[in-house]
Amino acid sequence: MNPETEYREGLEQLASNYKEILSLLGEDPTREGLEKTPMRVAKAMQVLTRGYGMDAHKVLTDALFKEDYSQMVIVKDIDFFSLCEHHMLPFYGKVHVAYIPNGYITGLSKIARVVDIFSHRLQVQERMTLQIKECIEQTLKPLGVMVVVEAKHMCMQMRGVEKQNSITTTSDFCGAFNQAKTRQEFMNLIHQ
């Protein structure tokens, strides 16, 4: 599916609902500047939530290679954008992933694709962190996995407490990363 040209079922109904939302907000959805907005928003929402129709495990197994390498593999500074499920406002930042192979590796771009799949759903940062870690753990069965997510949340910047420079950091790990020394090595490498 090309997210910019192919859309999922329900697009017309979604656009109709956004037209109603514009009316409920006190706008005239028939005025020139808003006439095409309901469909634009419907298409944008389908793109921003395209992760629901994707299988992150399959992405990893499509590029699975037997390899006798058992040192840390790190893919850091993976940009992501997601929508907070509480206010449907964006949160965005960087994801850092490390895994220690146990006989199998995956294509490096596949780690970034896993991040994209889970971030393109209505999310909370904590769950997204866990989902990325669990997907890699269950699919690759490595000696260990660690995921760190650093993000800014528009729901904290635009509304509520309105704190512009706050960053939320979450992490999850398993296996070899249960050892403080291994976690510290990863943290040192991602902040170089």
Concerning whether 57 is annotated as a catalytic residue, the answer is no
Among residues 20, 67, 86, 179, the one annotated as catalytic is 86
Among residues 57, 155, 174, 185, the one annotated as catalytic is 155
Among residues 46, 84, 131, 135, the one annotated as catalytic is 84
With tokens 């929508």, the residue in question is: 83
What secondary structure does DSSP assign to 116-178, as a single string? Answer: HHHHSSEE-HHHHHHHHHHHHHHHH--SEEEEEEEEEEHHHHTSTT--TT--EEEEEEEEGGG
Concerning whether 125 is annotated as a catalytic residue, the answer is yes
Neighbours of 167 (CB within 10 A): 12
Query: Whose CA is closest to 122, among 62, 81, 156, 163?
Result: 81
Phi, psi of 152, rounded to the nearest 5 degrees: -105, 140
Among residues 87, 134, 150, 157, the one annotated as catalytic is 87
Concerning whether 153 is annotated as a catalytic residue, the answer is yes
Among residues 12, 35, 85, 126, the one annotated as catalytic is 85
Among residues 120, 125, 131, 137, the one annotated as catalytic is 125
Concerning whether 174 is annotated as a catalytic residue, the answer is no
Concerning whether 84 is annotated as a catalytic residue, the answer is yes
Residues annotated as catalytic (active site), given as ranges = 84-87, 125, 153, 155
